[in-house]
Structure 1
Amino acid sequence: MAAPIGSKLKLGINGLGRIGKLTLWHHVARKSFGEIVVNLGRKVGTSLADVAHYIERDSTYGWLHGYLYGHQARTVLTDIDEAKGSLRIDGVPVRFLREKRNPAEIGWAEHGVRLVVDASGQFLDPTAGPDAPKGSARGHLAAGAEKVVVSAPFKVKDKARPMPADAITTIMGVNGNDYNPRAHRIVSAASCTTTCLAHMMRPLINAFGAKRILSASMATVHAATSSQEVLDRLPEAGKTDLRKSRSIMNNIILTSTGAANALRLVIPEMKEIPFIAESVRIPTSAGSLIILVINLQEEPAGGRIDRKAINAIYRRAAADSPEGYLIYTDEQNVSADIIGIPRAAAIIEGHETHTRTAEACIDLAKVPGLDAGLLASMKTQVIRIPVTQAVIYGWYDNENGSYVHMLGDRTVTIAETL
């Protein structure tokens, strides 16, 4: 997927926050598109030079030219033209739009853009029409785009409405092939956490089957995002989550994640598994960790489920992942070690895998719906089931290294069908 698609195809990016900016870096590096059109949706700074300043350097990943060519590289931003709102990044023409925030008013057709990555985080309801007052992903289609990739999970406001037939959630390496270019126009690339979690769960379901996984839970220890405050402030009117108004600089903040719901969209077997997902935010700029806990039913005829068996599953899965979406390692890592790691959706740290096996006692007399006569005929109404609990650790770069690379692969594979 590294080969250029063609010099005539243009990519649109809506929003230049964390994911939008790094998506721009990513596609400049890949040289997959002949031109990139970025919609800022508002005036920024005092000139286009201020936008260039923002693009050229990053507090987490360093200089853009260093990202592209290493520490000895020179600046790659040239030909800044304020009048045209354009510049070149490593030879790739980039045009900036600074007028319209509503996707329906951006005018992608005027600029020859057929594919848009919406990285704004604002237009997540695929059921919303193009004329929605505050805008929608469908507005991009009305403005001339043929396909829209949303860099976040879908959020349907009206739960009674079904998912539209032309919308789908995909994660590369898990259900990426479910995308149908003839049917789908709006594609969610899920989230960084769901992407990592899907690559952690898929090998386990393949190995054991969903029915042997009695329950599962996860907690993501997640780097800060723009939804956290730098310093404490008063909560906005009507807000009930008071922690979101507290400083991320010196706090561990409990929050929520929609990873469990999104996971069911990409791995249908997850609907059979009781699953809980939790999240905490910590004061780091990037690099996150999923702690996955699964409870497995042992089988007398099968081999024992222990640390060695779990790690062997991930070793095989990583070896069968030619794209490098899953990495297995026995090394001892910290979060800084995985920042910027290319493409990997999940890095399994086998050194920390733990298992414990014990018997779960079930009193059949207290199980609703069992026949009373059957219970009376049994010698004992208490059965013991061997259950193994496994704890698995998976690292991911929630920005550039993991998620943006996966988002980029999704975008390029869609572009190849246009």
Structure 2
Amino acid sequence: MSNSVKVAINGFGRIGRMAFRRAYEENQVEVGPKLEVVAINDLSDPANLAYLLKYDSAHGIFNHEVSFYKDESHANVFFPWKELGVKVVLESTGFYLKKELAQDHIDAGAEYVIMSAPAKDDTPTFVYGVNTDKLTPDMHVVSGASCTTNCLSPMLSVIEKKWGVKAGFMTTVHAYTNDQTTLDLIKAKDFRRGRAAAENIVPTSTGAAKAVKLVIPSMAGRLDGIAIRVPVLDGSLCDLTLELKEHGATVEEINALEKAASEGELKGVLGYNTDPIVSRDILGRTEGSIFDATETKVIKTEDGAELVKVFAWYDNEFSYTCQFVRLAKKVASFVA
């Protein structure tokens, strides 16, 4: 494959498989560096992994031939990246979330590692289109943040640049995920996540709002949030309430600015919606965040400031994966 960068996917779960699908699809039509997946590393049965790549309850059938063989020629090498010519590792296990752990990939011969989850240390964090102008070739280990941070940041950045933000609170109404259970079971760290996910509305924690400071530094200490897990398989909604620094914001101006951003500097990253949609309607959307102009609200506080409420949808699996792959292609351009 010409103009390609060899990539390995470490961890072939929900995001790993979606990343493979997205990279494959983009390789068929897009210009620029292509992500050539030459290795998939996972502890699970290869036959089962191939089956789950082909058939997906949320995203449908992958309409391409899927076959597999178990390569044991590197059985004595934990990560055979040097031998395979791997330049970039898409780290999707959820375990290598510190630089010192991700360094294993670098030591094995890869040049770059991109985490598909929030880092647990000071690893540089990027939301494609929002702060990727700060991404430089000397950053060999980076994080693509979370699906919710990728939804929140584009919408928020537009408002923050115009009016500034005193403080805010975010609620993500989020599809259930694989860290929950289908029946009531023991969950020592969070009792509520142990309740039947498909039968309950489950309040729980999220670090997505606080993590925004890693992408938009001016928001440090100004934003917090919670998650409400709901009984849908995929498709989520970010509800953001902000107190603005500058006065004068209106529903019309907020919507106009978000629309302009979706057609300009954030095109492909921020979508814009004016229809009365529901969560199923955004499944498969490639933007990391789909601003919903039908739900924008503004009220004035006693001191004349504005309290703003805005909403954005996101496919918490595929929208995020598209952002993750965009980030991977940006990193791959350093070695292409």
TM-score (norm 2): 0.92
CA 1:289–1:253 in 2, change beyond 3 Å: closer, same or farther?
same
CA 1:146–1:354 in 2, change beyond 3 Å: closer, same or farther?
same
CA 1:83–1:333 in 2, change beyond 3 Å: closer, same or farther?
closer
2:69 aligned with 1:82, yes or no?
A: yes
Q: Distance in 1 between matches of 2:191 and 2:330?
A: 41
Would you say the 8 A contact 2:210–2:225 is kept in 1? no
- For residue 43 of structure 1, report the CA deviation from its aligned partner: 4.6
Matching residue within 104, 113, 132 for 1:176: 132
2:218 aligned with 1:294, yes or no?
A: no
CA 1:277–1:43 in 2, change beyond 3 Å: closer, same or farther?
closer
Matching residue within 366, 389, 394 for 2:307: 389
State the one-letter code of the partner of 2:243. Answer: N
CA 1:168–1:5 in 2, change beyond 3 Å: closer, same or farther?
farther
Question: Pairwise mapping of residues 318-333 of structure 1 onto structure 2 (< 5 A)?
Answer: 318-321=262-265, 323-333=267-277
Q: Distance in 1 between matches of 2:162 and 2:226?
A: 25
Match of residue 3 from structure 2 = 6
Matching residue within 264, 288, 299 for 2:213: 264
- For residue 84 of structure 1, report the CA deviation from its aligned partner: 4.2
Q: Distance in 1 between matches of 2:44 and 2:274?
A: 48
CA 1:83–1:270 in 2, change beyond 3 Å: closer, same or farther?
closer
Cα deviations across residues 135-181 of structure 1 (Å, max 9, x unaligned)? Answer: x211111111110000011113xxxxxx3xxx411111111121110
CA 1:81–1:356 in 2, change beyond 3 Å: closer, same or farther?
closer
Q: Distance in 2 between matches of 1:298 and 1:185?
A: 39
TM-score (norm 1): 0.74
Q: Distance in 1 between matches of 2:307 and 2:216?
A: 21
Match of residue 227 from structure 1 = 179
CA 1:5–1:350 in 2, change beyond 3 Å: closer, same or farther?
farther
Q: Distance in 1 between matches of 2:14 and 2:275?
A: 29
Q: Which has the higher contact order (CA 8 A, sep 6+)?
A: 2
Any stretches of 5+ residues in structure 2 without a counterpart? 28-33
Cα deviations across residues 29-61 of structure 1 (Å, max 9, x unaligned)? Answer: 122234431001x251xxx44432221110001
RMSD: 2.1
2:255 aligned with 1:255, yes or no?
A: no
State the one-letter code of the partner of 1:195. Answer: N
Calculate percent identity across the aligned residue pairs.
32
Question: Pairwise mapping of residues 303-342 of structure 1 onto structure 2 (< 5 A)?
Answer: 304-321=248-265, 323-342=267-286
What is the total number of aligned residue pairs between the two structures?
329
Match of residue 111 from structure 1 = 84
Look at both structures and tell me which one has the larger radius of gyration over its CA atoms.
1
State the one-letter code of the partner of 1:412. Answer: K
Cα deviations across residues 223-256 of structure 1 (Å, max 9, x unaligned)? Answer: 1111001111123xxx242112111010111111
State the one-letter code of the partner of 1:222. Answer: H
State the one-letter code of the partner of 2:59. Answer: Y
State the one-letter code of the partner of 2:298. Answer: T
- For residue 331 of structure 1, report the CA deviation from its aligned partner: 1.1
**3-state secondary structure, aligned to 1:249:** helix
Cα deviations across residues 162-219 of structure 1 (Å, max 9, x unaligned)? Answer: x3xxx411111111121110x21101000110011111110011111x3xx2211110
State the one-letter code of the partner of 1:252. Answer: I
